[in-house]
Structure 1
Amino acid sequence: MKISIEWLNDFIDTGDLERLAEDLTLSGSEVEEIERPFEKIKGVFSAKVVERKIHPNADNLIVCKVDDGKGLHTIITSDKTVSEGDLIAFGSCLNASDVNGHIVESLEIRGIKTDGMAFSLQELGLEAHSEGIFKFEKPVEIGIDVKKLLELEQIVFELEITPNRPDCLSHIGIARELSAVRRSSFKIPKPSIDFHKGDFPVFIETDKCLRYMALKISGVTVKDSPLWLKRRLSSVGLRAINNVTDITNYVMMEFGHPVHAFDLEKINSRIVVKDAKGGEKFVALNSKEYTLNGGETLITDGENVLALGGVMGGKYSGISQETKDILIEVATFDPVNTRKTSRKINLSTDASYRFERGVDPNDTLDVAKRIAEMVISISGGKVDGFVDVYPTVIKPKKIFISSEKLSSYMSFTPDENEVEEIFDYLGIKTSRKDNGWECIIPTFRQDINQDVDLVEEFARIHGLDTIPSVMSMPFVKGESNPWWEFKNKLRILSTSCGYFENVNYSFSNPKVEGLFGDTFKSGIKLLNPVSPEMSLMRSSLIFNLIDSLSYNIKHQENDVKFFEIGKTFEEKEEERIAFATTGAVSPFDYTDKRSQDLLIFKGEIESIFKNIHIDFEFSNENMAGFENGRCGRISLNGKKVGIIGQINRKVNEFFDVDTPIYVAELKIEEIFKNLRPSRYESYSQYPSSFKDLSMFVKKGEIKAEDIIKTARDSSKYVQDVRVVDLYTGKGVPQNSYSITIRVTYNSVEKTLSDQEIDSAFSKLMELIESKTGITLRKVR
């Protein structure tokens, strides 16, 4: 929300800019940026046209000599309305720049060289499009800075307005806030105009229009707006169109209540507000055609759609240069329906931005009087009456706040007079009771619904920084939550392994999901997505993790380790943890040249969960979206709980990443069910012995994990089994590989004899030899 300081001064003395910014920020309307919208205009001065000639080589161009008080300069223009004696805005070559900072350059046009240019209002930032150069209407001294003459030394605050404060989306609303913070008065425009009720028929046939006022004004002249009006609109980012339309925008920025003007001749003698049935076509003021879904609020004349209520007016009922009679609409539309309409048709406007958040229906008459007064003073004409349809009057809420509760929350006992003074400045009327205040909440404060809201209002105006730092409430210890503690433990373990936590949106891109085929079930499709790339509820956390990883790589962060804990959405919501990594294993260790690999990644996942005594089983299984032979399922106690693998080339290309990406995802709810209390097991104080066993294994017939499991189960003395060598090449039969396992034997009761170890090892060899596809090769 942009606020012009010049404009704000109409309602309250703004004073020092630094203090103004601090007051607004502390009140809750944070100042994000201080702008000077015309600051790039430099070196533009008033000048006089002293000579005018037709270009000798181009009949459609004019060559002029201008005097800027420092000398004569040559300009060429296509504006044939220029005459000798005109006072214009002139900038010399290399010394002047327009509103966008573009430097004036010398040009040679059809044999004549320029040493400057005449500026239009478009180049000065006061119009969206200018037909000709700007000419001063009143005499001015030449050689004066145009920014000074046109009062373009404007200062604008860019404010962050929270969604619950639509009353602050206006200059009057901000002035009211400053008035409360500074405990000083502010002015609201009080139009002297009055008008009578008319007989123009207005019908409301929907509950989504809370109030509709139609004001007829005849005999207006549609033309350019005066400079002061263009200046103010331009300073807050609105383009000037014509005087009538500009006035409606001006009043919206002043009161925060959107207003629309119709050409009365293009309306079929009445206004009917109703719901769209669906399928209707609507051409908006932006010249785009929209097909309505049904349920939108339509402003019609009983036959034709004139406007989309709360969003935008229609092209064929808008104001034009030929318009003589106008119908001003001052209405209030349902916020929820306006928001849905705006999202459905993907059309957001300054009007919908305000209606979505809530507009005060009870300022309608004041807004109508203000706009009528401005139209008559700027465009001429007279008011022919108004019609106001207000089916269910919205009355101010009454809320009681006890002095005891206010003191309890504030940690001190506020002065009663200060409480009433603050509420009065905020527009809240109070009446003192024995133990507190009954407050009447103005309808422009739709965010105040209970007594704690009043506590907050008092606190922020009193000054949050002045509230005593004492414990106002007794400490209450919360109950232990094992599920939360489990997830927090996973976060700690993941970060200890070098992974950084991601928090992504719960939406995913259907194109990305399509790359993984049936590996994941299809995500739930959203009826009204924010964008096509976020049109599904995610069925996996992996999609967004890869996207985050890709973003980092494109910003020169090549060594990435991410994890996320969050919900996925298939037939039901399910919490999972996912990991994604690429790049170097130890990027800060220059002696470690290793890059991430599937086995290293698998080991990191295992180490994280071994800390909570979870031992997974891993099994190969080719899946869409992953490299064949480099992916598989993760199981726990025979139940599949996750996947792990290397992303395939197609996915890499989609995300524009050329390094291997490894991902894993686990269902933590299943893991949580299998958690067991930690228990102590005595360790052996006796020496251990190990034996190595080498064998040829036929590929595809038996898995290494089956060999390890066989070894583990072969004797009660087996303490550990691990693979120490894997080899393919010379001396190894075709379609086989050589694997060596090391079996460690130990007992917690005694030192094992050679006979006991040999007996156990012989039994193991018999078990291994009995398996098809294995040939013992070497024993050591």
Structure 2
Amino acid sequence: MKFPESWLREFCNPPLSTQELADLLTMAGLEVEELEAVAPPFSGVVVAQVLEVARHPNADRLNVCQVDAGTGQTLTIVCGAPNVRPGIKVPCALVGAALPPAEEGGEPFRIKLGKLRGVESQGMLCSARELKLSEDHGGLLILGDDAPVGANIREHLALDDMLFTLKLTPNLAHCLSVYGIAREVSALTGTPLKTPRFTPAAVKHDARLPVRIEASDLCGRFSGRIIRNVNTAVQTPAWMVERLERCGQRPVSPLVDISNYVMFELGRPSHIFDLDKIHGGLTVRWGRAGEKLKLLNGNTIELDDKVGVIVDDEAVESLAGIMGGDATAVSDATRNIYVEAAFWWPQAVAGRSRRFNFSTDAGHRFERGVDPSQTVEHIERITELVLAICGGEPGPMDDQQLVLPERAPVTLRVERAAKVIGMPLTQAQCAEVLRRLGLEFAEEPGRLTVTPPSWRFDLQIEEDLIEEVIRVLGYQTLPATPPLAPVQARVRPEARRSSHAVRHALAALDYQETINFSFVEAQWERDFAGNERPIALLNPIASPLSVMRSTLLGSLVNVLRFNLARKAGRVRVFEIGRVFRRDATVPDSDRSVAGIDQPLRVAGLAAGPLEALQWGKPERPVDFFDVKGDLESLLAPLKPRFAPAEHPAMHPGRCAQIELDGRVVGHVGELHPKWRQQYQLPQAPVVFELEADALLQRPVPVFQPISRQQAVTRDLAVVVNDAVTHEALMQAIAAADTGGLVRSANLFDIYKPKGAVADIAANERSVALRLELLDEEATLTDERTEAAVQAVLASLGQRLGARLRA
């Protein structure tokens, strides 16, 4: 909600400075999001009148003007504006004036005495854009004929007025107007409120437009009036244009401007029909499938029975409570009008604009609730302005009341209010707050029963009244009371670590954390998760971000593309976040939604060189085994198993699944070549994603005394088939019957001859293994050691067909 301070002070003018008023509103729950002056600082600009205009002798597009700026002498000013002419009054920057800089943060533009094409210019005639009043640069800013020559332009146009922009929560619908905010300021400060009076217009004819309301659950009250012989060729008054522009509303035409003005003034959206374009009468009903309507914004929409409409005898003419139709819009040819103001039920308007991908000020207000008791009075206000600006002959008021909201009484218990607020309260204090807010109430000892007024849709439960009490008393009156409840720290089991510890561990491995949206593009889900049916959002913040993610990889690839576009050659990023998957077995709980599984995942991506450029090591790209090593470090002291696997996002031959105790907890691998090409990546990054719970495990170390015996090592070279894996070798050694003497086994060399070798076939290779043997109780003898080695060789031969290399 944006409005000028001067308009607010016409209704309620408290003895507060602008900043004090802004602070008061913010502390009362009406957050002042922005506070700015109507125009930036400038000086030396006055109202001037153009006396004569002559063509510049040396330039076709310049004029030499004689100007009266109230200085006592006529000034000669060279001007190139196309709309300059004798008799107009315009802003004139005198010599020495300081105009706003062309760019924010720049130096002010100083006006100096100079020559343009040989003719001396003693100032500059200004456009609205040069004064930073608007972006209009089509010509000079022409002032009204009543502008006093020589007057300071800032004072004449009230350019020191401040613009307030409020960030209102949905429960503050009664503050979506200047008068509504003034009513709040009056309650907060005790300053008298100037209540507008609505004088009924003198009826000049008896014409009425037949209106039939078929849906009382759509419209609870409908008021209207015919006004004949209006003159739409007139200009909207400058004062109204000024206020609308300072509320962020672009002026359109006199009738539209009047309707918008009353909406900002009193919070009542209304609509003005061209009466001569209405066929027969009007009917208020729900839409029907197959009906279409061309709106004022030029869009043609298809309707159904969930949308309210106003129709005449031939077609749909308006989208109820949201926007009028193009067919009955007023224009310069309009002579007779029908003014409508209605009460549309909030639940009948809520969400309808979003279905058609647009929003309106009217829909924004009606879906939050607009006072149903003032439709007639507000039409009288519109009529007053129409007659004053466009003339016309008003007819009788037609007011149909069907079903109005019933406001159930709400009881405030003083004792409970004091307990919730956290400070002592008296019943007199609570009663005074309710009285200042204009709320009717009945008192009994310790209780006040409030009947919410017609403009307060938010007062429904006791907590709403408690909020009003402390809001008016002021949050600054709350005492600094420390909590009385005992604080007990949650001690995390030693066998688990926090997600912050995982973050620190990843950062220590040179990864940087990113935080991305939980909603992503549907294409990412198909590409990186193979998810053809992701969870769709009903109301996405942007059309591409339309589904909930079931993998973090799409977001990380997008981060990589963002960095590559900015010439970042080395990217190592990670994210810890939740993913969202359909799962009918998930119950409803505090942390989840029934049928939606929301596990925490950890994902990372590494692209570019393994290390930053340096002199000590040659540069090489990061590969699968580098990232595998990072994961082993993260999972230590657990012993993960990496097995070949497939994943929709990863290279089919360079992907592994990560297993812990036989359970798959994640995947690691190069990005699939198809996605590398589709997302235009210069090389395939290595990515990983695994369950956060796997990384949070931290087994407690078990003490083992240092052995008093000395270990014995033996190296073996065995020939195995090329298909034999490292894991198979280790399993065969572990299965050997050595009496528990083999403490560890390591593969430290692989030999694959280039040519033919007598003892190694073409499909074989030689692997070198180092065995460490130890008996905790006794010193190993050569006989026991040799027996254990032979047991290992026997196991390798039986399980893998391995043989000792000659």
Give the TM-score, by structure 2 length. Answer: 0.82
Question: 1:34-73 alignment to 2 at 5 Å?
Answer: 34-39=35-40, 44-53=45-54, 64-68=65-69, 69=71, 71-73=75-77
Aligned to 1:153: 160
1:436-464, CA deviations, whole angstroms, 9 ceiling, x for partnerless residues?
Answer: 21122234332332112222222232222
Q: Give the corresponding residue for 1:217.
A: 227
Distance 1:105 1:183, change over 3 A: closer
Which of 492, 503, 510 aligns to 2:522? It is: 510
Offset of 1:505 from its aligned partner? 3.7
Inter-partner Cα distance in structure 1 for 2:247 and 2:288 = 37
Are residues 1:705 and 2:723 paired? no
Aligned to 2:174: 167
**1:317-716 alignment runs, 5 A limit:** 317-470=328-481, 474=485, 489-498=498-507, 504-516=516-528, 518=530, 520=531, 522-526=533-537, 529-548=540-559, 550-551=561-562, 560-572=572-584, 573-574=596-597, 575-582=599-606, 597-610=623-636, 615-648=639-672, 651=675, 661-667=685-691, 680=702, 682=704, 685-686=707-708, 687-694=710-717, 701-714=723-736, 715=738, 716=740
SS in 2 for 1:397: coil
Q: Tell me by how many angstroms 1:577 deviates.
A: 0.8
CA contact (8 A) 1:582 1:660 kept: no
- 1:191 paired residue among 198, 218, 235: 198
Between the aligned partners of 2:602 and 2:703, the Cα distance in structure 1 is 32
Q: CA distance change for structure 1 residues 120 and 413 in 2, over 3 Å: closer, same or farther?
A: same
The Cα offsets for residues 563-620 of structure 1, whole Å up to 9 and x where unpaired, read as 2231322455331413113368788999998976533433443444446xx5433212
Corresponding residue SS for 2:11 = coil
Once the two structures are overlaid, the 10-residue window that deviates more, 241-250 or 296-305, is 296-305
Aligned residues: 768
Name the SS of the counterpart of 2:579 in structure 1: strand
C-alpha RMSD of matched pairs (Å): 4.4
Give CA-to-partner distance per residue, 1:489-526, whole Å, 9 cap, x none. Answer: 345334443267665443221222343373x4541344
Q: Which amino acid aligns with 1:178?
A: V
What secondary structure, in the 3-state scheme, does the structure 1 residue paired with 2:145 have? coil
1:21 aligned partner: 22
Of the three residues 755, 759, 766, the one matched with 2:794 is 766
The percentage of counterpart residues that share the same residue type is 29
Secondary structure of residue in 2 paired with 1:374: helix
How is 1:278-293 mapped onto 2 (pairs within 5 angstroms)? 278-292=289-303
Equivalent AA in structure 1 for residue 51 of structure 2 = V
Kindly indicate whether the alpha-carbon contact (under 8 Å) linking 1:273 and 1:300 is maintained by their aligned counterparts in 2. Answer: yes
Counterparts of 1:159-308 in structure 2, within 5 Å, are: 159-193=166-200, 199-206=208-215, 207-222=217-232, 223-292=234-303, 295-308=306-319
Question: 1:9 offset after TM fit, Å?
Answer: 0.9
User: Residues 169 and 354 of structure 1 are in contact (CA less than 8 Å); yes or no, is this contact kept in structure 2?
Assistant: yes
Query: Aligned pair in 2 of structure 1 residues 565, 67: CA closer, same or farther (>3 Å)?
Result: same
Q: Taking structure 1 as reference, are residues 249 and 473 closer, same or farther at Cα in structure 2, changes over 3 Å only?
A: farther
Range with bigger deviation, 12-21 or 499-508? 499-508
1:571–1:180 Cα change, 3 Å:
same
Kindly provide the amino acid, as one letter, of the partner of residue 659 in structure 2. Answer: S
CA contact 2:61–2:80 (8 Å) conserved in 1:
no
CA contact (8 A) 1:311 1:347 kept: no
Contact preservation (8 Å) 1:576, 1:668: yes
Q: Is the 8 A contact 2:496 2:697 kept in 1?
A: no
Name the SS for the 1:468 alignment partner. Answer: coil
Cα distance change, pair 552–321 in 1 and its aligned pair in 2 (3 A): same
Provide Cα deviations, 1:661-698, integer angstroms capped at 9, x if missing partner.
433333568x69x9899695755634444444455665
Q: Say if 1:127 and 1:230, in contact at 8 Å, map to a contact too.
A: no
Per-residue deviation, 1:245: 1.1
Q: 1:421 is matched by which residue type in structure 2?
A: E
Amino acid at match of 1:438: T
Give the counterpart letter for 1:193 in structure 2.
P
Tell me how far apart the structure 2 counterparts of residues 94 and 743 of structure 1 sit (CA, whole Å): 93
Moved more, 493-502 or 615-624: 493-502
**AA aligned opposite 1:215:** R
- Larger mean CA deviation between 223-232 and 133-142 belongs to 133-142
**Unmatched runs of 5 consecutive residues or more in structure 1:** none
Match of 2:90 among 82, 88, 91: 88
Distance 2:101 2:543 in 1: 36
- With 114-123 and 232-241 compared, the bigger mean Cα shift is at 114-123
Cα distance per residue 1:161-203 (max 9 Å; x no partner): 2233222222223223322332333223222235789742223
Pairing 1:7–2:7 present = yes
Unaligned stretches of 5+ in structure 2? 585-595
Indicate if the aligned counterparts of 2:2 and 2:166 stay in contact, CA closer than 8 A: yes
Query: Cα 1:421–1:566, aligned 2, differ >3 Å: closer, same or farther?
Result: same
Instruction: Say whether the 8 Å CA contact 2:62–2:79 is kept in structure 1.
Output: no
Work out the CA distance in 1 between the residues paired with 2:195 and 2:621: 68
Distance in 2 (alpha carbons) for counterparts of 1:139 and 1:274: 49
Note the alpha carbon deviations across 1:608-649, whole angstroms, 9 max, x for none.
4446xx543321224343234332223344443432223245
Q: Distance in 2 between matches of 1:774 and 1:366?
A: 99
| Residues 763/402 of structure 1: CA separation in 2 closer, same or farther (3 Å cut) | same
Distance 1:333 1:758, change over 3 A: farther
Deviation of 1:127 after TM superposition, in Å, equals 7.9
With structure 1 as the length reference, what TM-score do the two structures score? 0.84
State how far apart, in whole Å, the 1-side matches of 2:134 and 2:229 are. 25
**3-state secondary structure, aligned to 1:664:** strand
Q: In the alignment, is the contact (CA less than 8 A) between 2:746 and 2:769 conserved in 1? A: yes
Is contact 1:93-1:115 (8 Å) kept?
Answer: yes
Conserved 8 A contact 2:76-2:120: no
- The answer to whether the 8 A contact 1:198-1:384 is kept is yes
Aligned-partner Cα distance in 1 for 2:287–2:763:
70
1:21–1:766 CA distance, 2 compared to 1 (3 A): same
Q: Distance in 2 between matches of 1:373 and 1:486?
A: 77
State the distance in 2 between where 1:268 and 1:753 align. Answer: 113
Structure 1, 241-250 or 495-504: larger mean CA deviation: 495-504
Amino acid at match of 1:310: G
Change in CA separation of 1:737 and 1:703 when aligned onto 2, cut-off 3 Å: same
Give how far 1:229 is off.
1.1
Secondary structure at 2:574 match in 1: strand
SS in 2 for 1:516: helix
Rounded to whole Å, the distance in 1 between the matches of 2:417 and 2:616 is: 63
Distance in 2 between residues matched to 1:728 and 1:181, nearest whole Å: 88
Give, as a single letter, the amino acid of the residue that structure 2 aligns with 1:73. I
Structure 1 pair 769/427, CA: closer, same or farther in 2 (3 Å)? Answer: farther
Offset at residue 266 of structure 1 (A): 1.6
Q: Give the Cα–Cα distance (whole angstroms) in 2 for the partners of residues 329 and 161 of structure 1.
A: 27
Deviation string 1:300-342 (CA, Å, 9 cap, x unpaired) is: 2243222222332222222211222222232333445534322
Alpha-carbon separation, structure 2, partners of 1:437 and 1:288:
51
Deviation of 1:290 after TM superposition, in Å, equals 2.9
Partner AA of 1:508 in structure 2:
V
Given that 2:497 and 2:697 are in contact with CA atoms closer than 8 Å, whether structure 1 keeps it comes out as no
Query: In the alignment, is the contact (CA less than 8 A) between 1:622 and 1:632 conserved in 2?
Result: yes
Residues 647 and 214 (structure 1 numbering): CA distance in 2 closer, same or farther, change over 3 Å? farther
Higher mean alpha-carbon deviation, 419-428 vs 207-216, is at 207-216
Distance 2:76 2:31 in 1: 49
Query: Which residue in the other structure is 2:590 paired with?
Result: none
